Amino acid sequence: MQKEKLQQHQVPIIEKEIAVFEHNHGHINNIIFKDGSGYPISAIYAPGPFEQHCKIPEALGCELTEEGYIKIDGFQETTVKGVFAVGDNAAKMRTVANAVAMGTSAGIAISKRMILEGF
């Protein structure tokens, strides 16, 4: 279904193995395939692998998802009770607005827990 939709919008699908990307001072301009043919392009969009740059969550025992993000529940709590994670290290949506929303959710959950533990 996706293939047909791309074709409907004149998005070419080339199923060949890439040999090299040609560029001029870092500005991409051509794909060269292993069969020697080429295809002109001006941009590439590809997801890069995610990597946690801070090892503290793992050192605390927090589990990671298959993609490498910190595993959290609906209130941002990690698999370690009392440890919360928000923002880029716990979500694929890497925006300030999302990090703020996640932080707000975590703050509410922490506040509620502290209040309930006090009673």
Looking at the domain assignment, is residue 47 inside a domain?
A: no
Residue 113 and residue 66 in one domain: yes
Residues 6 and 36 in one domain: yes
Report the domain count for the chain: 2
Which residues lie below 8 Å from residue 39, measured CB to CB, with a gap of 6+? 12, 14, 30, 31, 33
Residue 59's pLDDT is: 96
Answer yes or no: do 33 and 67 share one domain: no
Q: Which amino acid is at 91?
A: A
Per-residue pLDDT at 109: 95
69 and 106, same domain (yes or no) = yes
Per-residue pLDDT tens digits for 55-84: 999 999 999 999 999 999 999 999 999 999
114 within domain boundaries: yes
Convert the pLDDT of each residue in 7-52 to its tens digit.
899 988 899 999 999 999 989 999 999 999 999 999 988 877 888 9
Q: Are 68 and 97 members of one domain?
A: yes
Range of the domain at 34: 2-40
Percent of the chain with pLDDT over 90: 77
